[in-house]
Amino acid sequence: TSEELASTDYFGYRVDISGDYAIVSSRAKNNYKGEAYIFVRSGTSWSQQATFVASDYAVDSFFGESVSISGDYAVVGARQHKHANLGGNQEGAAYIFVRSGTSWSEQSKLTASDGAKGDRFGEAVAIDGDYAIIGAPYDGDNGNNSGTAYIFVRSGTSWSQQAKLTASDAAAGDIFGHGVSISGDYVIVSAPENDDVAGTYGWGNSGSAYIFVRSGTSWSQ
């Protein structure tokens, strides 16, 4: 555990592990500004190596809503980060951190090219190698809360948006992007409130998941 915990911090809200490194979030730390912690293994012992906070730390950002780690890189989502130029209400952001020796530093802040109020970009994040995927499940491009996911790629020390993913049958209320994962040339995105299978009353959140594959710089379902 972190040495700085308080009773309402939600330490362990999200976790991930890669090799000898683990990341643990505490999204409610300091009035929901949020923090994340890196732990490293030496033999059979684990110790805290770093504490992450956003470069633009703000109350109610929910930094640590989601976390992922791959090798020397980690990504942390802040689903309620406010962008003043977009109206300042849960647009969301994600932050890339990189390790050099025993030190970690923020390398990039990711936002959607078409981010809007209430999208909650950063509700889900995943990283693998030079690629990261960020979910924005309350994006409304295909109906209210239909959802979107974004692919980012690293070149040197810079990260840029490569693709915007939506479901082939996107519909209002699906919250596509609520869960994401990436491995090599493949990503999977969940839409837990997709209604393909009707429930007892003729509706229901049966849910779906979608696989996308990369070819060059393009991603397809």
Helix (H) or strand (E) holding 32: helix 29-32
Q: Which two tokens stand for residue 219?
A: 């991603």
- In this prediction, residues 93-97 reach a mean pLDDT of 96
Question: 37 pLDDT exceeds 90?
Answer: yes
Residue owning tokens 């951190």: 97
Note the pLDDT tens digit of each residue in 110-143.
999 998 888 999 999 999 999 999 999 999 999 9
Distance (Å, rounded) from C-alpha 102 to C-alpha 154? 22
Q: Which two tokens stand for residue 150?
A: 């974004």
Report which of residues 39 and 55 the model is more confident about: 39
Which pLDDT score, from 0 to 100, does residue 175 have? 96
Burial 163-190 (b: 16+ CB within 10 A, else e): bbbbbeebbebbbbbbbbbbeeeebbbb
Confidence bin at 195 (pLDDT 50/70/90)? confident
- In this prediction, residues 149-172 reach a mean pLDDT of 97
Helix (H) or strand (E) holding 133: strand 131-136
In angstroms, what CA-CA distances link 96 with 68, 127, 137, 200, 209?
10, 9, 20, 44, 25
Which pLDDT score, from 0 to 100, does residue 201 have? 56
Confidence bin at 85 (pLDDT 50/70/90)? low
Which pLDDT score, from 0 to 100, does residue 122 have? 95
Beta strands in 71-116 (DSSP E): 73-78, 93-100, 103-110
Which pLDDT score, from 0 to 100, does residue 121 have? 94
